[in-house]
């Protein structure tokens, strides 16, 4: 099953249509009001929704306007982001490998959809492609072997980062440097793990990457994570009560701009394409803060 945020309304995607010409049904209308239009509300009733979604006919599916897609988690109650979760990225960042997940937050107001313009903050703005897990049924002390049962599905994210704000003074300010408006794009869809498996993909081994102006800068596989999704859910829930609709940014592989020689950062007019096998692509353009475009 795949869901998306179509112009602010929850939509269930027709499984037989591809990402280039998405088609779907409006969930509130198709369910006769049983499920709300608000995409964020669905995670609190995830298992009931999943059962209903399996009964839906796509005979009346309509084309979706990809330019109006919003975040599949527009207002997550809690956002966890994990730093240095790939060995090669920890190395390029000059840090030792973490022995515990390095957890920070991206504030919820930074969330945006899978397309559109993002305003550049004044500092050095960098890209970080990341797999994003969305929590369905939350709770505490979730064991590793049950962790995937608490995940509604996977989506794609960019942990856009202002490196000047992040490293303005020691110690680093991860949350602030990564929470300018639009710095947490997610999408285009939320995909369930059974849907990925049906497509022959392993939810723990998805290829992902991003391109700046068409040039590949990051490419890796999620199997290279130090702490995989299930391990993160277990370790986070050992401390924090997870809530339906919570979001986990799972860390980025190597290839960030700050790790290049010389460093390279996003500039006015740059296009960023972010992709993950089985999930889809996001397309963003960066515009100068003072630009009137
Ligand atoms: Zn990150």
* CA–CA separation, 93 and 90 (whole Å): 5
Can you give the pLDDT at residue 17? 75
87 and 191, same domain (yes or no)? yes
Decide if pLDDT at 246 tops 60: yes
Kindly state the average pLDDT of the residues 137-143. Answer: 97
Same domain, 59 and 182: no
Q: Look at residue 229 and tell me if it is in a domain.
A: yes
CA of 108 to the centre of ligand 1 (A): 15
pLDDT at 267 over 80: yes
Distance (angstroms) between ligand 1 centre and the Cα of 130 equals: 7
Quote the ligand 1 centre to 213 CA distance (angstroms): 21
**Is residue 212, in this structure, part of any structural domain at all?**
yes
Distance set, CA 157 to CA 47, 182, 247, 255 (Å): 24, 11, 10, 16
Q: Over pLDDT 90: what percentage of the chain?
A: 90
Predicted pLDDT of residue 101? 95
Average pLDDT over residues 114-124: 97
**Tokens matching residue 233:** 């859910």
292 in any annotated domain = no
- Domain CATH for 238: 3.90.850.10
Over residues 74-95, mean pLDDT:
93
Could you tell me if 164 and 211 lie in one domain?
Answer: yes
- Domain match, 23 and 101 both: no
Please tell me the distance between residue 68's alpha carbon and the centre of ligand 1 in angstroms: 25
Q: Is the pLDDT of residue 291 over 60?
A: no
Place of tokens 């945020």: 5
Could you tell me if 53 and 12 lie in one domain?
yes
131 CA distance to ligand 1 middle (Å): 10
Domain limit, last residue, from 69, 99, 126? 69
For residue 103, give the nearest of 283, 1, 257, 238 by alpha carbon: 238
How far CA 217 is from CA of 89, 96, 151, 183, 261, in Å, comes to 13, 23, 29, 18, 13
Cβ-based neighbours of 119, under 8 Å, separated by 6 or more = 180, 181, 182, 286, 287, 288, 289, 291
Same domain flag for 44 and 83: no
Q: Please check the confidence at residue 115 and state whether its pLDDT lies above 50.
A: yes
pLDDT (0 to 100) of residue 83: 94
Q: What integer is the mean pLDDT of 11-25?
A: 87
| 245 in the same domain as 101 | yes
Q: Is residue 293 part of a domain?
A: no
- List all residues 6 or more positions away from 107 whose beta carbon is below 8 Å from its beta carbon: 79, 175, 179
The pLDDT mean for the chain works out to: 95
Domain count, the chain: 2
Domain final residue, candidates 69, 93, 108: 69
pLDDT at 29: 97
Q: What is the pLDDT of residues 189-220, one digit of tens each?
A: 999 999 999 999 999 999 999 999 999 999 99
- Residue 69: half-sphere exposure toward Cβ, Cα within 13 Å: 32
Query: Which band of pLDDT confidence, cut at 50, 70 and 90, is reported for residue 289?
Result: confident
Question: Structure pTM?
Answer: 0.96
Say yes or no: 116 and 141 in one domain.
yes
Residue 112: which pLDDT band, with cuts at 50, 70 and 90?
very high
Pairing verdict, β 9-13 and 2-6: antiparallel
Question: Under DSSP, is residue 57 helix (H, G, I), strand (E, B) or coil?
Answer: coil
Residue 192 lies in a domain: yes
Residue 74 resides in a domain: no
Mean pLDDT of 115-140: 97
Ligand 1 centroid–CA 161 distance in Å is 8
Helix (H, G, I), strand (E, B) or coil at 61: coil
Q: What is the mean pLDDT of residues 176-188?
A: 97
CA separation, residue 276 to residues 156, 191, 256 (Å): 7, 11, 16
pLDDT of residue 290: 67
Nearest to 9 by CA among 37, 33, 34, 44: 37
Residue 94 pLDDT grade (very low, low, confident, very high; cuts 50, 70, 90): confident
Band of the pLDDT at 19, cuts 50, 70, 90? low
Ligand 1: centre distance to CA 235 (Å): 18
Q: Is 13 among the domain residues?
A: yes
Q: How many angstroms separate the alpha carbon of residue 42 from the centre of ligand 1?
A: 26
Query: From ligand 1's centre to the CA of 29, what distance in Å?
Result: 37
Cα 280 from Cα 282, distance rounded (Å): 7
Cα of 9 from ligand 1 centre, angstroms? 28
Q: Are residues 64 and 85 in the same domain?
A: no
Compute, in angstroms, the gap from residue 75 CA to the centroid of ligand 1. Answer: 19
Torsion of CA 143, 145, 147, 153, to 10 degrees: 180
In the beta sheet, which residues pair with residue 222? none
112 and 240 part of one domain:
yes
User: Does residue 292 carry a pLDDT above 60?
Assistant: no
Strand partners, 3: 12, 190
Question: Could you tell me if 41 and 177 lie in one domain?
Answer: no
Cβ atoms 232, 82 nearer than 8 A: yes
Compute and round to an integer the Cα radius of gyration of the chain.
18
Q: Which residues contact 68 (CB under 8 A, 6 or more apart)?
A: 6, 7
77 CA distance to ligand 1 centroid (A)?
Answer: 19
Domain with 187, as residue range(s), is 79-287
Q: How far is the CA of 83 from the centre of ligand 1 (A)?
A: 5
Q: How far is CA 141 from the centre of its chain?
A: 24
Residue 113 shares a structural domain with residue 50: no
* CA of residue 157 to ligand 1 center, whole Å: 9
Instruction: Report the alpha-carbon distance of residue 76 to residue 94 in Å, rounded.
Output: 31
* Residue 245 in domain: yes
SS3 category, 87 = helix
Six-digit token string for 114: 């899978």
Residue ending a domain, among 32, 50, 69, is 69
What pLDDT was estimated at residue 76? 98
């Amino acid at each position: 099953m795949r869901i998306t945020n179509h112009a602010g309304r929850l939509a269930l995607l027709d499984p037989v249509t591809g990402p280039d010409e998405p088609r779907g049904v409006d969930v509130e209308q198709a369910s006769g009001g049983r499920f709300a239009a608000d995409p964020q509300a669905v995670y609190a009733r995830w298992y009931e929704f999943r059962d209903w979604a399996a009964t839906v006919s796509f005979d009346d599916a309509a084309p979706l306007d990809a330019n109006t897609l919003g975040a599949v988690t527009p207002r997550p109650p809690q956002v966890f982001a994990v730093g240095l979760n790939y060995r090669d990225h920890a190395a390029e960042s000059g840090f030792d490998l973490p022995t515990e997940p390095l957890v920070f937050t991206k504030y919820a107001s930074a969330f945006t959809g899978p397309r559109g313009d993002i305003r550049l903050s004044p500092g050095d703005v960098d890209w970080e492609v990341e797999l994003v897990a969305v929590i369905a049924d939350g709770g505490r002390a979730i064991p590793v072997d049950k962790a995937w049962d608490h995940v509604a599905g996977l989506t794609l994210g960019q942990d856009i980062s202002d490196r000047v704000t992040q490293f303005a003074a020691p110690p680093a300010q991860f949350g602030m440097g990564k929470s300018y408006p639009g710095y947490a794009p997610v999408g285009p869809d939320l995909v369930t793990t059974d849907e990925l498996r049906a497509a022959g993909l392993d939810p723990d081994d998805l290829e992902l990457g991003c391109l700046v102006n068409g040039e590949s800068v990051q490419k890796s596989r999620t199997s290279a994570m130090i702490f995989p999704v299930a391990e993160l859910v277990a370790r986070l829930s050992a401390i924090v009560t997870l809530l339906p609709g919570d979001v986990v940014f799972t860390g980025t592989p190597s290839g960030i701009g700050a790790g290049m020689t010389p460093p390279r950062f996003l500039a006015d007019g740059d296009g960023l394409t972010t992709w993950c096998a089985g999930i889809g692509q996001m397309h963003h353009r960066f515009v100068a803060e003072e630009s009137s475009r």
